[in-house]
Structure 1
Amino acid sequence: MSSPPAALRMIEVSGTEALWLLEGSALGRLVYPQRDLTVVRPGRHTWEYGRVVVRTPAPAAAIPVDATYHVDEVREATGTGWSVTVAGPVDVITDPDEAALPHSLEGMGGAPIRRTLSGWTHGPHDNLLRLHPTTVSGFRLVRAGA
């Protein structure tokens, strides 16, 4: 017989720690309303100059003025991990020269943003967005005794 799973709890983290967790990850989900539905699209992101740059298969015309981006990492074996959500105004990066600018992070080797943030689809619904976080929330999932 297996033993029952250890009790877990969620601990809220500071905005600074939440952004640090987001910056250390690469995959997330863009969330926005469209008609009477909530739409969730996968995204690849990077943190750049206080903004989240996201590449996602969402049509530019469907992106609202404000959106939410969610990132998490949960370890299935232990049930521990973290979750971060940022929300704020969104700009669609339409200038091809801006999309081709070298990426600012050292580990990216100066690759253009569009190439650095590989997408799932390449075509009219593959867009780059810049989200200006006005709200940040984050939580860690930890064992109850920790």
Structure 2
Amino acid sequence: MSTEHASLRMVEVSGAEALWLLQGSTLGRLVYVQRDLTVIRPARHTWEYGRLVVRTPVQAAAVPLTATYQVDEVRVATSTGWTVTVAGPAEVITDPNEDAHYRRTLTGWTYGPHDTIIRIHPHTVSGFRLARGTDS
């Protein structure tokens, strides 16, 4: 007699689907290394003109040359969801008009020196769906 039970699988998605998932979300995490320690900061984002714009509570001077941004949606009740990771060169947005625009459109958590708008030029985009499957 065979017994079927549900298992979780991670299924890789295409780059186009990963970007679609990213664009449908607004909340994620900026990840970078500072003094040999991994730093993770909450962030809000928008995707514009092939670039990821992120508002995060980090000092502008601490923004690295490259950064990783991770966003996900996990449904605990159904054990399903997805995760997307974007990595590439990062730069602080210094143009006052552009900075003001993103401060109006992306909600921040802090204000002052720990409130920075960053642009990430994606070199890699990867995504996975968390799916329920069956094993026999």
Q: Runs of 4+ in structure 1 displaced over 4 angstroms?
A: none
Paired AA for residue 10 in structure 2: M
What is the letter of the counterpart of residue 130 of structure 1?
Answer: R
**Secondary structure of 1:22 counterpart:** helix
Cα distance in 2 for partners of 1:98, 1:26 equals 19
Q: Are 2:52 and 1:52 aligned?
A: yes
Secondary structure in 2 aligned to 1:86? strand
Can you list the C-alpha shifts for 1:51-82, whole angstroms capped at 9, x where unaligned? 00000001111111000000000001011000
2:110 counterpart residue number: 121
Give matches, 1:1-146, under 5 Å: 6-100=6-100, 112-145=101-134
Listed one character per residue, the Cα deviations across residues 60-109 of structure 1 (whole Å, up to 9, x for unaligned) are 11111000000000001011000000000011001211223xxxxxxxxx
Q: Partners in 2 of 1:62 and 1:48 — Cα distance? A: 24
Report the TM-score, using the length of structure 1 for normalisation. Answer: 0.86
* Residues in 2 aligned to 1:59 and 1:48: alpha-carbon distance in whole angstroms: 23
Unaligned runs of 5+ in 1: 101-111
For 2:77 and 2:43, the matched residues in 1 are separated by 25
Fraction of identical pairs, as percent: 73
TM normalised by structure 2 equals 0.92
Structure 2 letter corresponding to 1:81: G
SS at match of 2:17: helix
Q: Give the aligned CA root-mean-square deviation in angstroms.
A: 1.1
Deviation at 1:6, TM superposition (A): 2.8
Counterpart in the other structure of 1:105: none
CA distance in 2, matches of 1:94, 1:6: 50
Consecutive unaligned residues of structure 2, counting only runs of 5 or more, are none
What count of residue pairs does the alignment treat as equivalent?
130
Bigger proportion of residues as strand: 2
Look up the SS of the partner of 2:20 in the other structure. Answer: helix
